[in-house]
Every structure is written in C-alpha cells, then in structure tokens.
Amino acid sequence: MMGPRQEAQAALFYEFSLEDHVPQEHFLRSIDRFVDLSDIRQYLTEFYSHTGRPSVHPELLIRMLLVGYCLGIRSERRLCEEVNLNLAYRWFCRLDLSDRVSDHSTFSRNRHGRYRESELLRHLFETTLAGCIAEGLVSGQRVAIDARLIEADANIQNATPKEDWDAASIDPTDAPRAVCECLDTLDEAAFGAASEVQPKFTSHSDPACPWTAARKGPAFFSYFDNYLIDTDHGVILDVEATRSIRQAEVGSTRTMLKRVKAKFDLHPERLIADTADGTGPCWAGWSNARSRRTFRSLTSPVATMAPGRGPTSNGMPRTINTSALKGTLSSSSGATTPPQTAAQPAKVRRVIAP
C-alpha cells in the first residue's frame, strides 16, 4: 500500500548540532586543527573605533576567506552564498544555523581598509610560518625562488599608448584607489623604479601592471607573484608581488631573503632558480643579501636543458651545480658575476616547480 504523503510541518523547537553533521574525515576538520586566530582581535584593536555599532568579528571574515581559498571560490558574493548554505562551511566559520552571514561588501571594505593598513594577511602568514618552523617543517638551508604570472584585472580597451601616457598630469585627489597606489610606488624597486623602460600600453584602471607577452601568446596586463620556498617540505617562506618584469623579480628575491633573515633568522646555504635569474644583477643582489656569507651553489632545476640532456637515471631533473663559483662570490674577492667558464643551459624548455 502506498504510504501517505509527507508534508513538512514547522516545529516550535529543533534539536540540531552542526558538530554531528560534519564528517570526521572532512578536509575542513583537518585544517581547523591548525588554525589559530586567537590573537587577531588584539592585533586589530587600534584599527577599530571604540564607539558605534559592533562590527563583524575579524575571525569570521578570515575563516570565510580560508574557505574561499581552499575551494577556489574567487567571488566574494558567491562565497557568502556558499557559507550560508553549506553546513560544513558554517561549522568551520563558527556560525550557528540562525547566525547571519556577513554581506559580500564587508570583505571589500576590510581588505581595502583596515586589513591593508594593518598588514593583517602578512601577520597571519608569518604566524603560520612560525608554526611550521616550530614543528620542524622548515630547515631554511635549501630554498627555491620563482615567479608566477598573474593576469591583472585590466583591459586594453581602457589603456593609453606609452607616447601619450603622462603620470605627472594625474590629479591624485580625483584618481581611483589603484591609480593613487601606483603613484605612491613609482620610486619602489618592485614597481615604478624597477625599470626605466615604459610599457607599450598603460592601463587607466591599474597603471602599475605592465603589458606583457611572456606566455608567447596574446599580450595582456599582468603582475608577478614571487615565491621563496623551502624545498625540504615545500613550505612557502615568503611572497612578494611585483611588476611582471625581470628587474622587479630580481629585487623581490633580495627583499624576501632579507625579510626571512630578519624575521626568522634563516640563512639559506643553497639557492635554486631558473636561468632567468642567472644574470649579473642577480648574483650581485644575492651576494649582497648574504653580506659576508655567500651561497654555496646556484642550481637550476629543469626538466629538459637542451637536446640530449634529459633527467637523470633516478628520475630527478638534471641540474647545473656551480659550486666552484662560491669562491668567486666571496666578499674577499669582491666578484659579483659568475665566470664565463661556468656551464649554462642552451635553452630551458620547462621549469619544474619546487
């Protein structure tokens, strides 16, 4: 016999626990064990007013951002919708069933406001890295550097050729936020002062991003996201955003090496890079960054160096080890460039990420 139709009826009381409905093997449980945001409130105290309406707790916004980063949700509007609907996301963000999810515009106001001014994301990154060091996941002896090309949110239809671009004619009081930030970084080594060469086109909405064809295809506006990675366990030690030109990439390497040395007292003995970093300014910068100590070798991890030079018998990529150069880079000799006899690859076809 066919059973009666079940119709949902509103109840006066519900007994429901999010803890019981999130599986123990859910990946957010694994992440939650290592997320410590206990000091975030004290860190941001001076950036909040002591009067007015209570704001959204910063820990909630950071946890929601972590959900978006882990799941590849780039839209903040969609992120708010997903957290509102998904029980596991609510559990991770410490939200009950009846708690209201903050509006998507709250993210933008905080990212461009107090989070940027306080460098909160940098603080969280360094706190996480300190935990990795405490657990023995970072040796700091063997590090790799590389840059990733990030497409900027700019369009060629809203750009000016270099012949017509004049930064001096811009009124900072009437310019958008991105333009004002570009004017403020004209003298910084990672942006305006990285090169005297003017890009072919300059975007009106984001003048700091160069016009590039680095991918051997259609040109576009872009940035470099530079990484310093500890190769023992693949832990990222530092990140620096720059213009997508080689000079800025060189400057970011010096910046990151100095920063990890000052913050965590890390002194790498071996530096791994591709051949784009094997230039005179790079060698000079790395030597200066190490002060009186120098790197023992410069290694270039490549899958195919040149025809006939494939990976080694154990499956690892063949590398160029210029250990003999450590004498030429010492402070006593004063040399800052590798000798001409050093082996150099004819062409790098594919770089293996650390």
pLDDT, mean of each 10-residue run, the chain (354 residues): 64 76 91 88 86 86 92 90 93 90 85 84 92 91 89 83 73 70 66 67 81 82 91 92 82 88 90 74 59 44 34 40 36 39 38 35
CA-to-CA separations, 159 to 105, 129, 171, 206, 322, in angstroms, rounded = 27, 39, 17, 9, 44
Q: Which pLDDT score is estimated for 192?
A: 55
Q: Which pLDDT score is estimated for 348?
A: 35
DSSP category for residue 39? T
Candidates 252, 200, 205, 203; CA nearest to 224 is 252
Q: Which pLDDT score is estimated for 292?
A: 39
Residue 207 CA to residue 211 CA, distance in Å, equals 10
Q: Which pLDDT score is estimated for 79?
A: 93
Is residue 294 within 8 Å of residue 287, measured between CB atoms? yes
Q: Which pLDDT score is estimated for 319?
A: 39
Q: Which pLDDT score is estimated for 326?
A: 38
Residue 66 CA to residue 61 CA, distance in Å, equals 9
Give the global pTM.
0.71
Residue 86 CA to residue 64 CA, distance in Å, equals 12
Q: Which pLDDT score is estimated for 108?
A: 81
Residue 130 CA to residue 126 CA, distance in Å, equals 6
- Grouping H, G, I as helix, E, B as strand and the rest as coil, residue 224 is strand
- Grouping H, G, I as helix, E, B as strand and the rest as coil, residue 64 is helix
